Structure 1
Amino acid sequence: MKSIYIALLMGFSLVATAQNKIVGTVSDKDNKALPNVIVSIPEIHKETITDVDGNYVLSNLPNGTFKLSFSFVGYATKLISVTISEKEVVQNMTLEDNIIHMDEVIVSTAFNKLQSQNVMKVEHESVKSLQQKGAATLVEGLAKIPGVSQVSTGTSIGKPVIRGLSGNRVLVYSQGVRLENQQFGEEHGLGLNDAGVESVEVIKGPASLLYGSDALGGVLYFNPEKFANPKEFKADFSQRVFSNTLGSNTSLGLKSSTENWKFLVRGSFNTHADYQIPDGDRVTNTRFNETDLKTGIGYSNSKFSSVFRYNFNKLDLGIPENGIGKQSTSHSTIYPKQAVDNHILSLHNNFYFKNSKLDADLGYIFNDRSEFEDSNAASLHMKLRTFNYDLKYYLPKFGKLETIVGVQGMHQTNTNSGEELLIPDAATNDFGVFGTVNYEFGKNVLQAGLRFDNRQVSSEAHGIPGNEGYFEAVDKSFDSFNASLGYKMHLADDFTLRLNIASGFRAPNLAELTSNGVHEGSNRYEIGNSALDNEQNLQTDLNLEYKSSHFELFANGFYNHINNYIFISPNGNVIDGNNVYDYVQANAKLYGGETGIHFHPHPVDWLHYTSSFETVIGKKDNGSNLPLIPANKWNNTFKGEFEVKNWWKEGFATLNIESTFAQNNNSEFETRTNDYTLLNLGLGGKITFRKTTFNFNLNANNLFDKTYVSHLSRLKTDGIPNIGRNIVLGINFMI
């Protein structure tokens, strides 16, 4: 496949036409040249930086109208439309001071707007900033974002939760394609490593209009790292160590680009021993090892651009079963354990026409998951193969009206080869078609869309009727129409309102339709229901933002009503000592929100104070509580920025106080959880020693070694606390 792909690219290179380019100078309001400003056209993956005189050049550009972005720390990001119809376009830019935040271009919502211009409120966070908070894994870092939590099994397995919804209700995108990795299982993590990931965008609310089934609760959109700028070669090495788990995370990356070709490769290895709780004991078999490889090749000319990426992730995960058992600092997993190989191949293509554009994304994911009970023979072995396609056509812009129409689909097969079956052999086919428009008038923006989806699920019968492990054959078709409507307006110069109303849906997964046996991860006998209907929801979101040069305030509120919410409920029977649970449906509602401030006092320009509070309540229509609803959380951070002569640049020191409230709104098969407060410290910056420059960060998480239990910890039922004090040191060198 790769040789065919390269041959195609070489064929396109032979028909490359004359080169267009944009040139210009970037300066501040005093007409002082600004070096190192990032100048980019996100739609076509073009980027450069200004030189010492503030000059920049973007070459090899297609004809058409594109969004040109100028971003630099300490200045307001500018995003303007530029029409390229001649060989050279001159575009100078003046940036204005904005020391409180840097605006980002949002990729996950299709129109590639700055967050300040976007109709939908989307949280954007760089992976670098999450690592600076001392997160050991990618999902642990995501849980630092207001409105996002994680269902955790120790430190190795984490599943994201967005406003109380998790599992198949949260869709994950990596490399531009939807990730499929048996995510229905409580003990099945994402299988993504933060190495080679640039940033994450979080859509908190139904995004079925853009992404189809499984985006009912929201979307996590991981942006891969960028290629090097033209005619550059870059190499970097990073190392992080973790005191609590005696862990290590090592990463090495190489990338280079010409005017037309781009290459990158990154390898990383992550290894941890059992995590330690505050009394000094280690939680047996929470150790894990992870190997990750990411590589990419890109080509572009004035008519066409293409990027091929490949990610291989290999996980060796211990499954904690006996709680506090034999103490060990070994990194080698023991039984029971999981072995997961995950392959993601993606091909992103842009075709440029005179006044329009076609995006064609193709993806292939192969998830090979094995579970070993007490020998090298896999008791559970599932192979999930998924092919995705996503075609979007950007129609010619008509005044202030932008329009996108698209077709998306998926073909997926699951096969079993182990002694046990968790879900049967099956095939799933998705097809969706949608259209969305964005209209700007003055400082107001209106966005609307409509979509139709069909999902077909067919599974094979297995086993003997009436016995454990029997799966009846299922042949089901699920249809859904969904719509969204969003409005953004300025109530005042610095005061913005966003109001969004959207519907979403989720087709029941194979476990919910077909289960018949003991789910070892949950210690219960689960019985599926082939008569389940779509989950269908309607959510209203209100976002208010106030931003000035020294103060930010935001308040997000939501109300989410879900028809046919799927959950498991005990039926009172016991099979082989396990309580029996049925998959059933009922209407449900979730409501709550997030609020926060960011204060940057003048004239104490080096000091930042941020505070956020988040809450969500989830109930069935009969008044009983939904499971896996995170506790209320109040987060406060003091951050100081500084420089020490010429050897310590971009320095920062942070004090974080994370207060989690008691969760008394537990479902019938959960226990209540007490409140707790954690204190976290951070220190870092860019150090120059002689001719060597490197970035470092030092964190002390749970500084006072507090004993606590998270409400969403899967080890809570055994009374096992979460991780104790953890000192994290990270260093990154540009080679």
Structure 2
Amino acid sequence: MCKFLTVPLIALFFITQGSYSQNSISGTIISNEDQSPLEQVEIYFPQLEKGTLTDASGNYSLSNIPVGPYKIVIAYLGFQTFSKTIDINQGENVLDVSLKLSAIEMEEVIVSTPFHKLQSENVVKVEYANVAMLKKKGAITLADGITNIAGVESVSTGIGIGKPVIRGLSSNRVLVYTQGVRLENQQFGDEHGLGVNDAGIESIEVIKGPASLLYGSDAMGGVLYLNPEKFAPSNSTVGDINLNYFSNTQGYGANAGFKTSGENLKFILRGGTSSHADYKTGDGDRVTNSRFKENDIKTGVAYQGTKFNTEVRYNYYATEIGIPEAIGEQTTERTPELPFQKITNQILSSKSNLFFDRSSMEFTLGYTFNERKEFEDDPQNAALDMDLSTFNYNIHYNLPKFGKVETIFGLQGMHQSNTNFGEEILIPDAITNDIGALATSHLHFNSNNDLQVGLRFDHRSINSEAAGIPSEEGYIAQLNRDFSSFNAAAGYKLNFAQSFIGRLNLASGFRAPNLAELTSNGVHEGTNRYEIGNADLKNEQNIQTDISLEYKNEHIEIFANGFLNDVNNYVYLEPTGTVQDDNAVYNYQQQDAKLYGGEFGFHLHPHPLDWLHLESSYQTVIGKLDSGDYLPLIPANSLTNTIRIEQSNANHWLNNSYAFVTLKSAFDQNKVNEFETATDGYSILNIGIGGNITVGKQDVEIRVSGNNVLDKSYVSHLSRLKSDGINDIGRNISLALSLPL
């Protein structure tokens, strides 16, 4: 615990020194159309994580700004986002901005990449999704919601268990970040979920492709970056209550938040709970023991000064999840039957920034504690009981800007301990240590050309203890392995014209084999397989080429993304043809593999019908081993078409209203691995409507959405229940209410 307090407590030094450099910035934001002042415009410094809103006269003011060049982002719905690097001088600074009208949605600052730029300024293409928008589409869980992002799917076991799939890669090949730190929760296991509740998550960023340069091992397939909700603007206090109901599972969810900020000190607190009965398929059958419940608490404190910023956040997440195996007793009970899991995650993180005259340094420290229990025969005694504790650190030094070059040096590391307490041992007690060093630079040649390059070295050591008796079945030998890797990335962005952007990126990534792949020797529960690890496995290493083209003007957006991913030493399971303990035996093997595909689409909002949005996207991925066999769990090609209406309706009883109709079609998946079966295609119709109504002096948001409104009977190719003949969820009507306090 003291490790987390060391850096934040430096704040005491700066507080006691007083604000000897009270630099400030102020100004007025107006509309370019009629010169009228704009209220509630967001003024934000991404690197400083400091922002405010304009008042009714369009005026804003921010104090305690360090001297130096910093990017300022000014965003308001219906207007073009303003982004510019400005020099903050000592004393008072003034910046007045006239925003241009735009029917294109506001651009957001991308924080998963190192230079905190808008997406249009980024060399690497990153998908961005606002969690509030995902909720409007009726997502039951966060893992369900991310499937609305192009190129992202989910390997699921019912609706309570889902793991992200990015362009055909998942589990330990996709790294999840939350609160700025790695989420470590035994993600090698297929039979438990993401481990994060959507309450208190503001947005999601997805890097589709190798991100080992920034994040090290396990990011070879991509990164799912979860941004926590921001603290309240300075000198303000806000709160809200959110209620949800889901007809299919008779499920409910509720969360409430409170946040308050002074000039320097800030505080945030949010608590949430949800409970779901067994889900019902399109055939009308409830899937026995697919029930689950979640409890979640997120809180944080922050100090923002002139030379020093720091924040500490804590998240407690607990879930009880039934593991469905068949369609049996039809009930709406909520207490899980055997087998079921109890999983808790605790995340404590701190992020601190030191600002110098022309440079800065960021320290991020994280501690994650994951407790995983599985109950198979006795609801009081866990057969599998594992604790995983992880401490990680990330230090970035932003060098002074040299001409048009921005450079960051970084040092990252992790210390992880896995401990068993139950009778069953899935993976042995082990210690894992990581350390990595990186350097990356962004070269902004002119308004049309940008180049980003980087290099990184990583070293991982895994030391595990022996488990079991050598002469008996299930014995796991002691393991001591070291893995190292150099990785590089280079990307180029070219603005062909004001509205046309092209990107070309080449990046390498790596993944050290996990403990399950190296040491398994027994039945892997939930998969009905007897798995045997391979202690001689090598690093997986990949090189991916990405090309993206994007055209965007006031009324139309068109994009095309393509990728080719060559993976050396891809780890996979291969059946031996033998049986042990009534389960088929599988060995972990390695072979080179290749994945390729992309995402294509458009977004039309024609003039003068700026309230009308027509959206379409298509995604495809193919994965094959060098032997010619297809990789398992590759999502089917899919096409999504949406008609969406959005209106401000300022003088109407329903303000900021919206409505949408979406048809999502998955095609036949016949390109399957030898121990998979083909999956038929299907189409799902989703609808939704919502907006704000005024109650007294408060705006209350209401949302109604219907997923699979035609009650289609279908199963996804990525469903782990497909082999049991169990279909996915049928019609689900969700009702939601959000009340500000």
| Aligned equivalent of 1:12, options 1, 5, 14 | 14
Aligned equivalents of 2:66 and 2:650: distance in 1? 45
Residue 599 in structure 1 maps to residue 604 in structure 2: yes
| Aligned equivalent of 2:679, options 654, 666, 673 | 673
| Aligned equivalent of 1:684, options 677, 687, 690 | 690
Contact in 2 for aligned 1:288/1:317 (Cα 8 Å): yes
| Aligned equivalent of 1:361, options 360, 364, 368 | 364
| Aligned equivalent of 1:174, options 160, 178, 191 | 178
Contact in 1 for aligned 2:512/2:538 (Cα 8 Å): yes
Contact in 1 for aligned 2:650/2:656 (Cα 8 Å): no
Q: CA deviation at 1:91?
A: 0.8
Contact in 1 for aligned 2:11/2:309 (Cα 8 Å): no
The residue aligned with 1:581 is 586
Counterparts of 1:645-660 in structure 2 under 5 Å?
645-660=651-666
| Aligned equivalent of 1:524, options 524, 529, 533 | 529
Contact in 1 for aligned 2:435/2:460 (Cα 8 Å): yes
Aligned equivalents of 1:428 and 1:437: distance in 2? 30
Q: CA deviation at 1:95?
A: 1.1
1:279-298 deviation line (CA, Å, top 9, x unaligned): 22110111001000000000
Aligned equivalents of 1:257 and 1:691: distance in 2? 23
The residue aligned with 2:626 is 621
1:318-344 deviation line (CA, Å, top 9, x unaligned): 1112x1111110111111110011100
Q: CA deviation at 1:242?
A: 0.2
Aligned equivalents of 2:416 and 2:549: distance in 1? 41
Aligned equivalents of 1:362 and 1:520: distance in 2? 34
The residue aligned with 1:431 is 435
Contact in 2 for aligned 1:598/1:609 (Cα 8 Å): yes
Aligned with 2:607: secondary structure? coil
Aligned with 1:489: secondary structure? strand
Aligned equivalents of 2:353 and 2:496: distance in 1? 37
Counterparts of 1:116-155 in structure 2 under 5 Å?
116-155=120-159
Aligned with 1:143: secondary structure? helix
RMSD: 1.2
1:334-367 deviation line (CA, Å, top 9, x unaligned): 1111001110000000001111000000000000
| Aligned equivalent of 1:89, options 88, 93, 115 | 93
The gaps in structure 1 that reach 5 residues or longer are: none
Contact in 2 for aligned 1:241/1:248 (Cα 8 Å): yes
The gaps in structure 2 that reach 5 residues or longer are: none
Residue 205 in structure 1 maps to residue 209 in structure 2: yes
The residue aligned with 1:507 is 512
Aligned with 2:110: secondary structure? coil
Residue 257 in structure 1 maps to residue 261 in structure 2: yes
The residue aligned with 1:267 is 271
TM-score, normalization: structure 2?
Answer: 0.98
Aligned equivalents of 1:369 and 1:520: distance in 2? 13
Residue 52 in structure 1 maps to residue 43 in structure 2: no
Residue 411 in structure 1 maps to residue 450 in structure 2: no
The residue aligned with 1:477 is 482
Contact in 1 for aligned 2:255/2:270 (Cα 8 Å): yes
Aligned equivalents of 1:671 and 1:16: distance in 2? 68
The residue aligned with 2:352 is 349
The residue aligned with 1:631 is 636
| Aligned equivalent of 2:320, options 304, 316, 336 | 316
Aligned equivalents of 2:622 and 2:254: distance in 1? 40
Contact in 1 for aligned 2:80/2:104 (Cα 8 Å): no
| Aligned equivalent of 2:39, options 28, 35, 38 | 35
The residue aligned with 1:710 is 716
Residue 455 in structure 1 maps to residue 455 in structure 2: no
The residue aligned with 1:303 is 307
Contact in 2 for aligned 1:291/1:313 (Cα 8 Å): yes
Contact in 2 for aligned 1:646/1:688 (Cα 8 Å): no
Q: CA deviation at 1:87?
A: 1.1
Contact in 1 for aligned 2:642/2:660 (Cα 8 Å): yes
Residue 380 in structure 1 maps to residue 380 in structure 2: no
Q: CA deviation at 1:100?
A: 2.0
Residue 327 in structure 1 maps to residue 327 in structure 2: no
Change in Cα spacing, 1:621 to 1:719, as seen in structure 2 (3 Å) is same
Q: CA deviation at 1:61?
A: 1.4
Aligned equivalents of 1:571 and 1:561: distance in 2? 26
1:122-141 deviation line (CA, Å, top 9, x unaligned): 00111000000000000110
The residue aligned with 1:550 is 555
Across the two proteins, how many residue pairs are aligned to each other?
734
Q: Which amino acid aligns with 1:385?
A: S
Using the TM superposition, name which of 535-544 and 70-79 deviates more.
Answer: 70-79
Aligned with 2:283: secondary structure? coil
Q: CA deviation at 1:562?
A: 0.1
Q: Which amino acid aligns with 2:335?
A: S
The residue aligned with 1:701 is 707
Q: CA deviation at 1:4?
A: 5.6
1:170-195 deviation line (CA, Å, top 9, x unaligned): 00000000110000000121110000
The residue aligned with 2:735 is 729
Contact in 2 for aligned 1:288/1:331 (Cα 8 Å): yes
Aligned equivalents of 2:56 and 2:491: distance in 1? 42
Change in Cα spacing, 1:500 to 1:606, as seen in structure 2 (3 Å) is same
Aligned equivalents of 1:484 and 1:693: distance in 2? 47
Contact in 2 for aligned 1:210/1:434 (Cα 8 Å): yes
Aligned equivalents of 1:330 and 1:79: distance in 2? 52
Q: CA deviation at 1:734?
A: 0.3
Q: CA deviation at 1:644?
A: 7.2
Contact in 2 for aligned 1:16/1:302 (Cα 8 Å): no
Aligned equivalents of 2:416 and 2:588: distance in 1? 23
Using the TM superposition, name which of 86-95 and 217-226 deviates more.
Answer: 86-95
1:17-49 deviation line (CA, Å, top 9, x unaligned): 232111011112232211111000011110111
Contact in 2 for aligned 1:439/1:445 (Cα 8 Å): yes
Aligned equivalents of 2:134 and 2:101: distance in 1? 25
Q: CA deviation at 1:240?
A: 0.5
Q: CA deviation at 1:374?
A: 2.1
Aligned equivalents of 1:349 and 1:468: distance in 2? 50
Q: CA deviation at 1:466?
A: 4.8
Q: CA deviation at 1:497?
A: 0.3
The residue aligned with 1:392 is 396
Residue 720 in structure 1 maps to residue 726 in structure 2: yes
Aligned with 2:518: secondary structure? helix
1:217-252 deviation line (CA, Å, top 9, x unaligned): 000111000001111111100000000000011001
